[in-house]
Amino acid sequence: MTEEQSTWLTAFADELGKRVKNFKDGDDIRQEQVLNVLWQIKKYIERYPNPRDAAKAMRYTGRINHGRDEAIERGEGVRRNRYVGQFPTRLNDDGEEVVIDLVDRSAIDPATQAADRDECLRAVDQLPPVVAAGVALTAVFGFDQGEAAKQIGVGRTYLSRMTKKSERKMCDGQHDAA
């Protein structure tokens, strides 16, 4: 790190410290943001030549990100809508209570697995071939929509439109029975 970068980072840390000192966990917020800036210091110096402007911009996002990180650690999820309760317990052969941290009921019951697989196949059979290939490439193989479209031989916007059209058609079909 150059001397200029070091000076900028020190000024940024001091200014951010002043701005978040009244927040709950202000020191933690400051530390996390300084580490984030340190990883990409050139980018931040180019974007914010004045460290005060960077501190002003990162004050709010630092507080939000810290709150999200804390919620994740507590098991509430990023949006604080999921609460992880106590893990389920079972009795072993000796009658002792054993905590089970993950229970995958579909892996235990082969009939449920077969029914889920058949339902997925029926849903994919209703999709146009382009959409089915796009869903397979994005959901199963991890490609983004642009890469999937290239492999299929269509444009990304066409694949996106067709996927959305199929999604609307399937949602409309669900409401017909009511």
pLDDT for position 85: 57
pLDDT for position 24: 83
Cα separation, 149 vs 162, in Å, equals 11
Q: Give the amino acid at 100.
A: I
Binned at pLDDT 50, 70 and 90, residue 176 comes out as low
CB 131 within 8 A of CB 162: yes
More confident residue, 73 or 8: 8
Does the global pTM surpass 0.85?
A: no
Could you give the count of Cα atoms lying within 13 Å of 20 in the half-sphere of its Cβ? 29
% pLDDT > 90, the chain: 28
Burial state string for 9-34 with b = 16 or more CB within 10 A and e = fewer than 16: beebbebbbebbeebeebeebbbbbb
By C-alpha distance, which of 20, 47, 42 is closest to 31?
20
Q: What is the pLDDT of residues 82-115, one digit of tens each?
A: 555 556 677 888 888 877 665 555 556 677 778 8
Query: Cα(first)–Cα(last) distance of the chain, in Å?
Result: 65
pLDDT for position 178: 47
Q: What is the pLDDT of residues 134-159, one digit of tens each?
A: 988 988 888 888 999 999 999 999 99
Could you give the count of Cα atoms lying within 13 Å of 171 in the half-sphere of its Cβ? 6
pLDDT for position 92: 82
Query: Per-residue pLDDT averaged across 8-27, rounded?
Result: 88
Average pLDDT over the chain, rounded to whole? Answer: 83
Strands 89-91 and 97-99: antiparallel
